[in-house]
Amino acid sequence: MKDDELLKAITVKAKAWLSEDYDAATRAEVQRMLDNEDKTELIDSFYKDLEFGTGGLRGVMGAGSNRMNIYTVGAATQGLANYLKVAFAELKQIKVVVGHDVRNNSRHFAEIVADIFSANGIKVYLFDDCRPTPEVSFAIRELGCQSGVNITASHNPKEFNGYKAYWNDGAQMVSPHDTNTIDYVNKVKGVKEIKFQGKPELIEFIGAEIDNKFLAKIKTLSLSPDVIKRQHDLKIVYTPIHGTGKHLIPRSLENFGFTNIYHVAAQDVQSGNFPTVESPNPEVPSAMALAIERAKEVNADIVLASDPDADRIGVVFKNTKGEYALANGNQIVMIFLNYLMTRNTELGKLTGNEYIVKTIVTTDTIKAIAEAQKIKMFDCYTGFKWIANVMLENEGKARYLGGGEESYGFLAEDFVRDKDSVSAISLMAEIAAWAKDRGLDMNKMLIDIYMKYGYSKEKGISLVRKGKTGAEEIVAIMKKFRENPPATIAGSKVVLIKDYNSLEEKDLKAGTVKKLVMPTTSNVLQYYTADGTKVSIRPSGTEPKIKFYLEVHDKLKSAADYDALNEASDAKLDAIAKDLGIE
């Protein structure tokens, strides 16, 4: 479609939002965009409808079909309600959980969602205040619900909000339910079909009782209570970065037995404006700066953080030079899984029927650990709904030990089906205590893992491409890499290519092609080189980004070589980025 034809179609679409069906504030905002000579904002707001990605519905708040507002949230909820009534037609009463985070408009959107569900005859359990995302997943399972919605944009900047839709297993929806929901959402033709007038008698508020049950279950995950008794005064700095973890995570740490928890007062303030950070993302050094300063004041053993909806975890500990440094997401998952596998072995809890899960873009060093421990490992697509899907397929057949992804998410329990920083932070503190009890700090423990199972270093690079033109550029980048794959990467020959869009694995050395066994296709490319380098490329499902995941491998012969190997690996990762044209 040519630009003038596109603008004409978008203008017609936008003018429909000037009808009396929309509130006065929305009409005024749309009119402002229509009157503006620069049509960029108008196009970005209306050129498409928000769609479910790996994390559900997510976008910038504002007026328009491509924005988060009561109408896009309303259409999604009405469509989901319509689908639930078909999918669970045999039930006398369909039930859902509705939760939300600290973001601006989150409570308002959550109440709108609750009203629409109830207006459609669906029983709603609405949290009385903001709660961690994993607790919503827990509540769906605990209360025997068929679905649930959490209003959150996770770690995105303050302009964003989102809508995570869950199924009856407490996991974010996968096929066919995600696509079926979209079909039903698309069938909602106009605002008049959205039932905004709620039925209060079908809305029940939940809170403290679910909190207590959730925390009690998390405490059962502890594998080293005797160690914690000896190391209870481990110095822990924790920050919720203005988010929902403020109340439950300190309580969980105390439940585990820790008595020396230091707060970051300025970031205990719950606010959707995230006043102390540019981005409330614990993987960003600037978001952790205040917590690190607090750690320096008290000489903390470990710094722990959660993002606004408390599903992601941030971890900081002292490096070889005695400086506080962020662990990357791959290291975090590796530390967790190494502990869970090792400790279960020590306690004699392994029966040979256990498994772990990681995503295909997460470090392959975890595979080496699992093979050494003789524990089955599953590789799945990015997004925790795919880890949950593996758990669903193995439910009642094998015991889940843990699963995670490089994007700072981990899940240690099977009674939740989304990443969980409440349990993860509690367990990471336990791991720090376990290491200290053995005369190690976190850094030395990490080095020991690398020496035993092989060294790896990772680097993630995201190219942000906003709006319609950005989306088109991302498509073009994927097309370029798919049609013209590199023959070498940083001087090493590409020997294997995996294309999850066609589900083909090409062994360039053997000249063979085989089928990849995955539940569905995904727009992901992976290149493997002769020297063990892995490069993964995929567009984000929730943000206007294309992501590159770079991973190099080597051998670490002694702890004394660790810093030098790190520097050499950083240089190699930079060379790979330059070679790919993404530096």
Q: What is the pLDDT of residue 136?
A: 98
**Tokens 């000896």 appear where?**
230
CA-based R_g, the chain, Å: 24
One-letter amino acid at 383 equals G
Catalytic residue among 154, 224, 407, 522: 154
Is the per-residue pLDDT at 2 higher than 70?
no
Closest CA to 580 of 517, 514, 504, 526: 526
Task: Give which of 544, 547, 545 is closest to 60, Cα–Cα.
Answer: 544
pLDDT over 90 for what percent of the chain?
Answer: 92
* Out of 35-49, 333-347, 367-381, least confident range: 35-49
Contacts of 263 (CB under 8 A, 6+ apart): 237, 238, 239, 250, 294
List, for residues 395-441, the tens digit of each pLDDT value. 999 999 999 999 999 999 999 999 999 999 999 999 999 999 999 99
Q: What is the pTM of this model?
A: 0.95
Note if the bond before 275 is cis, omega within 30 degrees: no
Kind and range of the H or E element at 494?
A: strand 492-499
Q: Which amino acid is at 269?
A: V
Kindly tell me the sign of the dihedral angle through the C-alpha atoms of 574, 578, 582, 583: positive
3-class DSSP assignment, residue 232:
coil
Q: Nearest CA to 272 among 425, 165, 152, 127?
A: 152
Compute the 3-state secondary structure of the chain and give helix, strand, coil in percent, each to the nearest 5: 40, 20, 35
Hey, is 524 helix, strand or coil? coil
- The CA distance from 292 to 15, in Å, is 50
Per-residue pLDDT for 48 more than 90? no
Looking at domain 48-206, which of 2.60.120.620, 3.40.50.12780, 3.30.559.10, 3.40.120.10 is its CATH number? 3.40.120.10
Amino acid present at 452:
K
Torsion of CA 568, 574, 579, 583, to 10 degrees: 180
Q: What does the H/E/C string look like for 145-173?
A: CCEEEEECCCCCCCCEEEEEEEECCCEEC
User: Within the chain, which residue ranges are assigned CATH 3.40.120.10?
Assistant: 48-206, 214-453
- pLDDT classification of 468: cutoffs 50, 70, 90: confident
- Residue 570's pLDDT is 97
- Which range (255-259, 507-511, 541-545) has the least confidence? 541-545
Superfamily of domain 214-453: Alpha-D-Glucose-1,6-Bisphosphate, subunit A, domain 3 (3.40.120.10)
pLDDT tens across 70-123, in order? 999 999 999 999 999 999 999 999 999 999 999 999 999 999 999 999 999 999
Decide: helix, strand or coil at residue 74: helix
Phi, psi of 278 (to 5 degrees): -75, -40
- Arithmetic mean of pLDDT, 442-446: 98
pLDDT at residue 53 above 70?
no
196 or 56, higher pLDDT: 196
Strand spans (E) along 302-424: 302-306, 313-318, 324-326, 354-359, 376-380, 399-405, 409-411
For position 474, what pLDDT does the model report? Answer: 96
In terms of CATH architecture, what is 455-580? Answer: 2-Layer Sandwich (3.30)
**DSSP reduced 3-state for 224:** coil
Query: Beta partners for 492?
Result: 489
Ranges of CATH 3.30.310 domains, the chain = 455-580
Is 197:116 a contact under the CB 8 Å cutoff?
Answer: no
**Which residue in 231, 404, 377 sits closest to 315, CA to CA?**
404
Q: Is 404 exposed, middle or buried (0-12, 13-18, 19+ CB in 10 A)?
A: buried
The sign of the CA dihedral 248, 409, 124, 271 is positive
What pLDDT shows up at residue 52? 63
Q: How far apart are CA 429 and CA 439, in angstroms?
A: 15
| Burial bucket for residue 256 (CB in 10 Å: 0-12, 13-18, 19+) | buried
Mean pLDDT of 290-316: 98
Q: Tell me: the pLDDT tens digits for 325-348? A: 999 999 999 999 999 999 999 999
CA dihedral 159, 160, 161, 165 (to 10 degrees): 180
Residue 185: what pLDDT? Answer: 87
Active site includes 522? no
The Cα–Cα gap between 285 and 434 comes to: 26
Q: 305 - beta bridge partners? A: 239, 314
Q: Mean pLDDT in the chain?
A: 96
Instruction: Indicate the pLDDT class of residue 466, thresholds 50, 70 and 90.
Output: confident
For residues 552 and 576, is the Cβ–Cβ distance under 8 A? yes
**DSSP class per residue in 396-446:** TTSEEEEEEETTTEEE--SS-BS--HHHHHHHHHHHHHHHHHTT--HHHHH
